[in-house]
Structure 1
Amino acid sequence: MGPVVPTVIPESEVELSAMRAQGAGGQNVNKVSSAIHLRFDIRNSSLAPDHKDRLLELRDSRITRDGVLVIKAQTHRSQDMNRAEAWGRLQELVDSVALPPRVRRPTKPTRASQKRRLETKNLRSQVKVLRGPVRQEP
């Protein structure tokens, strides 16, 4: 397979809103709406159907039952940097499901690996036997 081409997400499908950030930051946190709340409706997006399915199957707490991905970025002091971080996280998540998972083909253990396994089991058994009570023979 060739290199993965990143999926472009149209800005019209993403809802951005600014809010006050939580945590430390003093007066800046109390006055400035620098945190970004990004909402992306997966089901109503222009992504390919298989991308949508794989995104919705993710066990990610940021995806609501309605299929809306909610990302909150508030690590930076500036709104622009938080907006860029939120977009980056959205793009990273969408790109993570771009390739379908590889199908695992079950294989049989080799004869050598079976032999090694039995030998280590036998060694372990001997160690445990030696740990038992000491028997005196007449």
Structure 2
Amino acid sequence: MKLDFLSDFEDPYLQSERGKGVFLAGVLLGYMARCQVGKEGDIKKAPLFKQIDFGRMDLKRLKRQLARVPQLISAYEGMQKHSYLINRLAAEVGRLILSGNGDLGIDGNFAFTVGFGNAASYFWKIFGKEGKEELDNEGGN
């Protein structure tokens, strides 16, 4: 996993462990929502998108969504082929979120939304060639 690009952000919230975790949670859940509707589908129609309270997310709601990751992976075929990568990112998100303190607030909601909205590009920036090789080794596409 390549997370060094996070140091390019100058926002103080994104320099904290919690901030990185919240941003990456947005990437994770955004990527999963995209998998629910497919490449050409409207993200607003993804069940996961409809369950996220953008702008009013708190830590309890975020943890509730993250706790559903294993269930969502098994429910959607598009996620199953990337399950190893999704689980790796989910584990890192959990570690980072648990290492911080305080609630999300405005900064956290903004970081989450930016991660969610740009999920596909950041997901593959995180895994890049390494992710493709891992998928090939597992028999994925």
Decide: shared fold, TM above 0.5: no
Higher relative helix content: 2
| Greater Cα radius of gyration, structure 1 or 2 | 1
Q: TM-score, normalised by structure 2?
A: 0.31
Normalising by structure 1, report the TM-score.
0.31
Greater strand share, structure number: 1
